[in-house]
Structure 1
Amino acid sequence: MATVTFVADQIYNAFKNDIMNQQFQQGEQITEEYLICKFNVSRSFANEALLYLAESGLLKACPNKERFYVRACSKNDYEIISKVKMIFINLSYAMQKLQEKNNPVCFECLRTEMIKIKCATLEKNSEVFLNSIKTFYGCIIRYTEMRVLERNIDYLIDTMRDFEQKNPEHFFDIVAHQIIKYLENLTELLEKREFEKCLRVLQKIYTLNIQLLFR
């Protein structure tokens, strides 16, 4: 697996450079055969690289992960994805700090914010919804002493606000319910101190935010 990941890293860097040089169109399909021919790798390496690129946000995978399409096709796209990814890298690191220091998290506060988030979703109240999301994350990062996360969360809230303003019906009918599901799961896992599973939930939240930015 280490060798596969190393090759995937190389392909990622080359693919990133092609994106920065605007070699692709958004929505263009990238196949295993393309990577096999371009990088002279086996099918298993090509498949690993496609999954890696999809997890990073550069590609979009169809539900069965049999087809992959270009999501980012410019330097600006890549910088946005990198910024959002850094937010979730920092959140993942915050989870590790909570685990290492055995720091407390106020679960009463988290549950209170979840109630506000649900009520705001029903009422389609974007300000209460987004402020409660911000407070929810704030309850978590308060104990990590990672002040950079406060700026990270502000950027995250801004991305959600932009999407909500563009498509409020879709946001509250679909997206908000996905966010609620993930945050409830995150709260439950934090309370059980199942930090590895918390990291997997954060990856899902990251993917959802990338989808909002590049629909």
Structure 2
Amino acid sequence: MATAKEIAYELIRNSIFSGKFQPGHQLKEEELAGLLNVSRTPVREALRQLADQGLIEIRANRRSYVADVSEAQFEELMDILSFLESYSARRAARRISKEELDELKQINAEIERAVDDDPHFLQLNSKFHRAIHRAAGSHKLYELIDRIIDFHHNLYFKFGQIPARHNPLSVTEHQNIIEALEDGDEEYAALMMRAHNESVRRAFRQYWSERGKLPDAESA
């Protein structure tokens, strides 16, 4: 059975990723404790864990806020994510099993059916990427990438969801990654993962530029 702290953690985390709690939103311990019908202690512990993961900020006044993401942070995040995920794909190409490949194919088929449902698409997309990183066979690498994926979710809901027109392209890019993994081609798997991340970067920039929310960067 989940503890009160674990329940509080999941509720707050899911509320951030669903967009219910937007970046900059203040998270009040008393309100959250009342919502969960628990004391403030497990809520405080959950907030500290989320702060350690970078999803919230605990400021000098000890108040907690959903973490914000700047343009510079976005560019840095995408650089790091692209580097780590490419390395992970390279490792996975050497190690991935038939069962893990079948799982990736199944997830991508589900993603294709969810191209017009952005929240569900995002959830499945993260599941796809995490499956690759598990197949890479490095727990430490998985933990590093998992934290960045959480930041990516936060970014996604700060500025608004990428239009569904980009989603079918992601399905195709995923298929390219799967084929490279199935062939055991380490270089091509890394290349396809890097290309996929750059495609996502461009989609974010285009979306924000169209809405005046984030100026186009001069270079990646």
TM-score when scaled to structure 1? Answer: 0.55
Counterpart CA distance in 1 for 2:169 and 2:156 is 13
* 8 Å contact kept, 1:130–1:161: no
**Comparing both chains, which one has the higher relative contact order based on Cα–Cα distances under 8 Å and sequence gaps of 6 or more?**
2
Aligned counterpart, 2:74: 80
Cα distance in 2 for residues equivalent to 1:103 and 1:184? 15
| 8 Å contact from structure 1 (residues 99, 193) kept in 2 | yes
Q: Which of 147, 150, 164 is the equivalent residue of 2:146?
A: 150
Partner Cα separation in structure 1 for residue 114 and residue 160 of structure 2: 13
Kindly indicate whether the alpha-carbon contact (under 8 Å) linking 2:107 and 2:124 is maintained by their aligned counterparts in 1.
yes
The Cα shift of 1:154 comes to: 2.1
Shift of 1:162: 5.0
- What is the RMSD computed on CA atoms of the aligned residues? 2.1
Residue 197 of structure 1: how far off its partner (Å)? 1.0
Q: Does 1:116 align with 2:107?
A: no
The answer to whether the aligner puts 1:192 opposite 2:183 as a matched pair is yes
**Structure 2 counterpart of 1:125, which letter?**
D
Provide, for residues 44-102 of structure 1, a one-character-per-residue CA deviation record: whole Å limited to 9, x for no partner.
Answer: xxxxxxxxxxxxxxxxxxxxxxxxxxxxxxxx4333211111011111221233356x3
User: Which residue of the other structure, out of 189, 192, 210, is the alignment partner of 2:201?
Assistant: 210
Task: Give the drift of 1:108.
Answer: 1.4
**Helix, strand or coil for the counterpart of 2:97?**
coil
Aligned pairs (5 A) from 1:24-173: 76-99=70-93, 102-104=95-97, 106-121=100-115, 124-143=116-135, 144=137, 145=139, 146=141, 147-161=143-157, 165=161, 171-172=163-164
Query: Would you say the 8 A contact 2:89–2:193 is kept in 1?
Result: no
Q: Aligned partners of 2:158, 2:192: CA distance in 1, in Å?
A: 23
Displacement of 1:160: 4.1
CA distance in 2, matches of 1:204, 1:158: 22
Looking at structure 1, the residues matched to 197 and 96 of structure 2 have their Cα atoms a distance apart, in angstroms, of 24
Q: State the alpha-carbon separation in 1 of the partners of residues 160 and 106 from structure 2.
A: 23
Q: What residue in structure 2 maps to residue 175 of structure 1?
A: 166
| Separation (CA, whole Å) in 2 of partners of 1:163 and 1:194 | 36
Assess if the C-alpha contact under 8 Å between 2:93 and 2:185 holds in 1. Answer: no
TM-score by length of 2: 0.54
Unaligned runs of 5+ in 2: 1-69, 207-220
| Structure 1 unaligned residues grouped into runs of 5+ | 1-75
Distance 1:181 1:158 in 2: 24
Query: Following the alignment from structure 1 to structure 2, what is the Cα–Cα distance between the partners of residues 158 and 192?
Result: 34
Superimposed CA distance per residue, residues 120-171 of structure 1 (whole angstroms, 9 cap, x where no aligned partner): 11xx212221111111111111133221111122223444455653x6xxx2
